Amino acid sequence: MRPFLYSRAMTLEQAMSEAAQSHAAIMAGGTTLVDLMRGDLAGAEHVIDIGHLPGLAKVELDGPVLRFGALARMADVAELPFLKQNYPALVESLQLAASQQIRNAATLGGNLLQRTRCVYFRDGVSDCNKRVPGSGCAALDGEDREMALFGTSDRCVATYPGDWGTALAAFDTSVEISSASGTKTVKFADFHVAYGDDPARESILQPGEIVTAILVQATPAGRHSTYVKVRDRQSYAYAVTSAAVALELDGDRVTAARVSVGGVASKPWRAPAAEAALVGKVLNEAVALDAGKAAFADARPLRHNGFKIDLGARTVARAAMVAKGKH
Amino acid sequence: MDINMGNGGIGEPVVRRDAMAKALGLAQYAADFPHENTAYAALTLSKVARGRISRLDTAAAEAVAGVRLVLTHRSLNESLGDETFVMKGGHMQSSFLPLSSDEIHYAGQIVSLTIADTQEAAEEAARLVAIDYTTEPASASIDDAGLTEEPADSGIDVGDAEAAFAAAEVKVDATYLTPAQHHNPIELYAAAAAWRDGKLLINLPSQWVMGTRAGLAKVFGIPVEDVQVESPYVGGAFGAKASILPHVVLVAMAARRLGRPVKLVVPREAGFTVGSFRPAARSRVRLAATREGKLTAVMHDEVGQSAVIDHVAFPGMEATSKMYASPNIRMRSATVATDVNTPGFMRAPAEAPSFFGFESAMDELAVSLGIDPVELRIMNEPARDPVSGLPWSSRSLVECYRRGAALFGWSARNAKPGSMVAADGTLIGYGCATATYPSAMAPSSARVRLAADGSCVVYCAAHDVGTGAYTVLGQVAADVLGVPDELVTVEMGHSRHPSGPVSGGSITTGSAGSAVHMAARAVRERLFATVAGGQDRTKMTLADRHVVLPDGSRRAISDIIGGLPGGVIEEQADWKPTDMDDKTMRQGLAGGMAFAGPVGETHVSFSFGAQFAEVRIDPLLRTIRVARMVGVFACGRIINPRTARSNLMGGMIWGASSALLEQSQVDRARGRFANTDLASYHFAANADIGEVVVEMLDEHDSVVNAIGAKAVGEVGIVGVPAAIANAVYHATGVRVRKTPILMEDLL
């Protein structure tokens, strides 16, 4: 592997300053970066470790905005009683991700930035516009069962792999980004970018910018929420399809709905058509399935992943019915 | 801590003797052995599947600090010499040695081996080897257009199956597909080679130290005595570590050239093409029966994936033709050559793919007949081998089914598909299938040394590939010599020991075990002869470290042996299967592939099992989970029920994994395996496997070998994929004729 410089940042300010240099990479839990570096996919010449920095792992849940420090560990957050009670979708998305060992090390902020599991990106060999811009996309005429239905382009069809990010997409979420020039907050929907001409670019994060917190607007819909993950293997596998659903209910009638889908899009994907199909309805299995179908009405299937339209609709339907049953 | 009961002899559930060393990380695997001044190697693999290297530039790689050698086809200038492919009588995994020319025969072919002072420098330099290719179209799938099927052999014919099938009242005609799969042992492929005074010592994970030694001696043109192969522990093998993989030869060549030890650990993704794999296969099965359920015709046409560079075929017909009584049998096999690394042995290479189709077809026939699938199999139990007409050395399949059905609760099954539903709507399906595996054998030597204190050492160049052979062979010696198991040490996995067989074909216990038995008996005879003093040696026994004489008096073996010169009794034995001639035995003991059976001159020997599975299927999402499995097996005498059970259970778990998860996806556009890491190549996690119940019948086989032990290692996987597919049909009414069975197959 390439020789690289590793440094432990003493302060956030130092990390931001060092991270502004070219070919620098921020390391928090290291669960994704080390993997990428072993595969020669990260191109990092300087790794700046911020995993131990104080103050960035704090989780504050008692205000109108839930604040998750970027360095909070997935495993720790998944155990918070308040979150389990009031936002099961968020907890479940963490519990169903990766393995316990990885969740013990991985951070919430780093998790947002994990890169696709597309085999053509990972193999280091095939044409991949994400890995080598301009080289092409092997997935377009290759194995595409795992590829995305939404937010794709003729240059990349890879899937955003995260569960936590998918669940966050169902809420009013924003991301706090810090850099030498100060701190800003961006809407979560604008944090990741769908693939256009440059699929190598996956978020708006610039060199020198560090995710320092994730902010979620408190909502009563959190209590009636769930994250359903469908995968080939019972654990330790990425979603083939997934869905987060959060509901506000008046009896059995849906008064507000939040729906996002995973395993099917280039970025965490909100499904407003499914939300519209739920609101105002008395929720039953048929309504839930109609909402699921609405979520996938605009899907762009490839050769081998068309089944995800049907499976994805069913996943939304299942999530809606489970969310309804939560209290 | 002693949780073993009794003396640890044959039949006792002795805890594996290497368990603690492995749990504590003390067991040294191939890559753990330190060689002073080791240089590290890294691979560069071909990015294209077929063509030639048009430009090769190693300047940047050679410029990396610490790089000592970049081996390419330009710099190698060596060959395999007289050594060749294992299927042609040699020991190599392939007849093609990468770096022997500029030709590219498959994606992921080794195109350079870079050696440096550090692992990091080697990896960085390997990345900088610049290669351009001229490419030609490649096919890595047997389903690609334009490929032709070549008959692999003459097949098997009994009676007139075509005519019987045409005339039959009830028939099934269906085709079943199984994908390419890779072994992915957790211990990666590795090799560390050191030359001293023209002699080679090589550490590598091996299922065949004697064969590897013979093969490397031939490659390098040196006497076999000048090669030593060391492999005391193997972290999963499954057939992948039997023949010599190409990197082993290249590492040894590099070490000789540098005059310095060289070590290579093959990364996971490279293992997909540096090693072998289970080839894709297609089975067309035709079964015909009377309305009452008596089979009248059994036909099986298999097509297997082969390679352009080597012809390989793993037809299952030898086993499927013997499964059921039918007056008419017709079996054919063919291969399709593809642009891939040479396929190889993987747990039950012939049986696992072929039984998925064959035993699924039996289930389809049972459905067509309206007969319970367990009863259908019992109705067609053959008294003798339907092909050769010979008797079985032992066959207890019916008893396996009866016991398995009782353990599983098969009688609770409502035969109607989709009729069994849990309270939450989960669809429940029950399925069963037969498993079998040939009980072949190979010649083996062993040496046993008994010391005055009762301690005993067994030497045999066989292998414990994680299955418990260290423990089992120790028990055989303990049993014969009447010493406690914990006083027995077993030395294996090194070519300096008396010759042992390849750990393939489920033969280690039967073959190496018979050799240990023979050597231990020779030790015992000498012990008896020493104390005989005119008494009848045939009436002496050994117990509790004493010889019990016919008159009832006891002589401590410490006294007997203590009085002998050297203070030990040591005997070596060369064992061969009954039907094998001496020449074949010598070839086998010299590291050649020499098998006897399963069809002998007077008997046919197979292990059998009946396997049951319960699947639970989400009615909406169609995810399939295996709630529980039951396997009842008849494998002759079980030397150690604990390790045998683990082995059979492991096979069943792999069978479930194979049924629902495992496939090497082929990118047909690029002619390469696509999912070459463990994030994408799925095998079962703990959460995928529910309850697994394994039982072994108390079966006595006095024919198969000296200790009555039939094959255990591979039979466990064989029936499970079909049992699960049959359970999926029972749960849903959907017949899936391919593995893995995925949720989209049930949408």
Geometric angle at alpha carbon B252, from B251 and B255, rounded to 5°: 85
Question: B675, A119: Cβ pair inside 8 Å?
Answer: yes
Q: Which residues of B touch A145 (CB under 8 A)?
A: 665
Mean pLDDT, residues B78-90: 95
Please check the confidence at residue B69 and state whether its pLDDT lies above 80: yes
Test the A interface: residue of B667, B676, B686, B739 with most A CBs within 10 Å: B667
Please check the confidence at residue B1 and state whether its pLDDT lies above 60: no
Same domain, B263 and B357: no
Same domain, A45 and A74: no
Residue A129 is assigned to a structural domain of this protein:
yes
- Identify which of A234, A310, A315 has the shortest CB distance to residue B687: A234
Please check the confidence at residue B241 and state whether its pLDDT lies above 90: yes
The confidence score (pLDDT) of residue B8 equals 83
Same domain, A35 and A172: no
Residue B314 is assigned to a structural domain of this protein:
no
Same domain, A208 and A178: yes
Test the A interface: residue of B117, B688, B744 with most A CBs within 10 Å: B744
Q: What percent of chain B has pLDDT over 70?
A: 99
Same domain, B616 and B651: yes
Question: A234, B685: Cβ pair inside 8 Å?
Answer: yes
**Smallest CA–CA separation between B11 and chain A, in Å?**
37
Same domain, A206 and A102: yes
ipTM here: 0.96
Task: Name the A residues in 134-193 with CB < 8 Å from any B CB.
Answer: 138, 141-143, 145-146
H or E segment to which residue A291 belongs: helix A285-295
pLDDT, chain B, mean: 96
Residue A54 is assigned to a structural domain of this protein:
no
Range of the domain at B72: 37-137+186-237+241-272
Specify the amino acid at residue B87.
M
Please check the confidence at residue B161 and state whether its pLDDT lies above 70: yes
Residue A239 is assigned to a structural domain of this protein:
yes
Same domain, A86 and A197: yes
Residue B32: closest CA among B42, B22, B20: B22
Same domain, B537 and B668: no
SS3 B289: strand
Question: Residue A324 corresponds to which tokens in the numbers above?
Answer: 């309804």
Residue B401: closest CA among B586, B101, B634, B684: B634
Q: Which residues of A touch B623 (CB under 8 A)?
A: 230-231
Count of structural domains, chain B:
3
Residue A121 is assigned to a structural domain of this protein:
yes
Q: Which residues of B touch A114 (CB under 8 A)?
A: none
Distance CA B455, CA A292 (A): 71
Task: From B533, B556, B589, give the residue that closes a domain.
Answer: B589
Phi, psi of A126 (to 5 degrees): -70, 160
On whether any CB of chain B is under 8 Å from the CB of A61, the answer is: no
On whether any CB of chain A is under 8 Å from the CB of B123, the answer is: yes
Residue B144 is assigned to a structural domain of this protein:
no
Residue B280 is assigned to a structural domain of this protein:
no
Question: A141, B675: Cβ pair inside 8 Å?
Answer: no
Same domain, A43 and A71: no
Question: A317, B676: Cβ pair inside 8 Å?
Answer: no
On whether any CB of chain A is under 8 Å from the CB of B257, the answer is: no
Same domain, B723 and B582: no
Residue A196: CATH number of its domain: 3.30.390.50
DSSP state of B310: S
Q: Which residues contact B578 (CB under 8 A, 6 or more apart)?
A: B596, B600
Task: From B589, B615, B647, give the residue that closes a domain.
Answer: B589
Q: Which residues of A touch B674 (CB under 8 A)?
A: 119-120, 123, 142-143
Residue B249 is assigned to a structural domain of this protein:
yes
Q: Which residues of A touch B740 (CB under 8 A)?
A: 232
pLDDT (tens digit per residue) in B272-305: 999 999 999 999 999 999 999 999 999 999 999 9
Task: From A10, A28, A49, give the residue that closes a domain.
Answer: A49
Range of the domain at A129: 61-327
Which residue in chain A is spatially nearest to B663 when comparing CA positions?
A232
Number of neighbours of residue B180 by Cβ within 10 angstroms:
24
Which residue in chain A is spatially nearest to B42 when comparing CA positions?
A1
Number of neighbours of residue B655 by Cβ within 10 angstroms:
33
The confidence score (pLDDT) of residue B6 equals 62
Same domain, B523 and B399: no
- Identify which of A3, A138, A232 has the shortest CB distance to residue B742: A232
Report the DSSP beta bridge partners of residue A177.
A184, A211
Same domain, A44 and A141: no
Question: B667, A143: Cβ pair inside 8 Å?
Answer: yes
Residue B608: closest CA among B314, B258, B359, B428: B359
Residue A56 is assigned to a structural domain of this protein:
no
Give the distance from CA B200 to its chain's centroid.
27
Residue B90 is assigned to a structural domain of this protein:
yes
Distance CA B387, CA B390 (A): 8
Residue B158 is assigned to a structural domain of this protein:
no
Residue B464 is assigned to a structural domain of this protein:
yes
On whether any CB of chain B is under 8 Å from the CB of A52, the answer is: no
**Residue A245 and residue A170 in contact, taking contact as beta carbons nearer than 8 Å:** yes
pLDDT (tens digit per residue) in B324-341: 999 999 999 999 999 999
Which residue in chain A is spatially nearest to B689 when comparing CA positions?
A234
Same domain, A104 and A21: no
Same domain, B379 and B514: no
Q: Which residues contact B737 (CB under 8 A, 6 or more apart)?
A: B174, B175, B176, B177, B357, B360, B725
Same domain, B651 and B722: yes
**Residue B498 and residue B698 in contact, taking contact as beta carbons nearer than 8 Å:** no
On whether any CB of chain A is under 8 Å from the CB of B120, the answer is: yes
On whether any CB of chain B is under 8 Å from the CB of A307, the answer is: yes
Same domain, A31 and A65: no
Please check the confidence at residue B429 and state whether its pLDDT lies above 80: yes
Test the B interface: residue of A4, A141, A311 with most B CBs within 10 Å: A311
On whether any CB of chain B is under 8 Å from the CB of A240, the answer is: yes
On whether any CB of chain B is under 8 Å from the CB of A279, the answer is: no
Same domain, B730 and B610: yes
Q: Which residues contact B389 (CB under 8 A, 6 or more apart)?
A: none
Question: Residue B663 corresponds to which tokens in the numbers above?
Answer: 């496939």
pLDDT (tens digit per residue) in B338-356: 999 999 999 999 999 999 9
Q: Which residues of B touch A233 (CB under 8 A)?
A: 661, 682, 684-685, 687-688
Q: Which residues of B are catalytic?
A: 714
pLDDT (tens digit per residue) in B11-40: 999 999 999 999 999 999 999 998 999 999
**Smallest CA–CA separation between A176 and chain B, in Å?**
31
Residue B506: CATH number of its domain: 3.30.365.10
Same domain, A66 and A203: yes
Question: Residue B340 corresponds to which tokens in the numbers above?
Answer: 């891939």
Question: B680, A117: Cβ pair inside 8 Å?
Answer: yes
- Identify which of A122, A230, A317 has the shortest CB distance to residue B623: A230
Residue B668 is assigned to a structural domain of this protein:
yes
Same domain, B564 and B639: no
**Residue A214 and residue A139 in contact, taking contact as beta carbons nearer than 8 Å:** no
The confidence score (pLDDT) of residue B609 equals 98
On whether any CB of chain A is under 8 Å from the CB of B670, the answer is: yes
Same domain, B434 and B454: no
User: How many CB pairs (< 8 A) connect A and B?
Assistant: 85
Same domain, A36 and A141: no
Same domain, A43 and A91: no
Test the A interface: residue of B45, B741, B743 with most A CBs within 10 Å: B743
Count of structural domains, chain A:
2
Q: Which residues of B touch A123 (CB under 8 A)?
A: 269, 674, 676
Q: Which residues of A touch B622 (CB under 8 A)?
A: 311
The confidence score (pLDDT) of residue B2 equals 39
pLDDT (tens digit per residue) in B678-700: 999 999 999 999 999 999 999 99
**Smallest CA–CA separation between A13 and chain B, in Å?**
32
Same domain, B78 and B56: yes
Same domain, B425 and B467: no
On whether any CB of chain A is under 8 Å from the CB of B679, the answer is: yes
pLDDT in tens, chain A (327 residues): 678 999 999 999 999 999 999 899 999 999 999 999 988 898 899 999 999 999 999 999 999 999 999 999 999 999 999 999 999 999 999 999 999 999 999 999 999 999 999 999 999 899 999 999 999 999 999 999 999 999 999 999 999 999 999 999 999 999 999 999 999 999 999 999 988 789 999 999 999 999 999 999 999 999 999 999 999 999 999 999 999 999 999 999 999 999 999 999 999 999 999 999 999 999 999 999 999 999 999 999 999 999 999 999 999 999 999 999 997
Give the distance from CA B668 to its chain's centroid.
28
On whether any CB of chain A is under 8 Å from the CB of B682, the answer is: yes
Question: B669, A232: Cβ pair inside 8 Å?
Answer: no
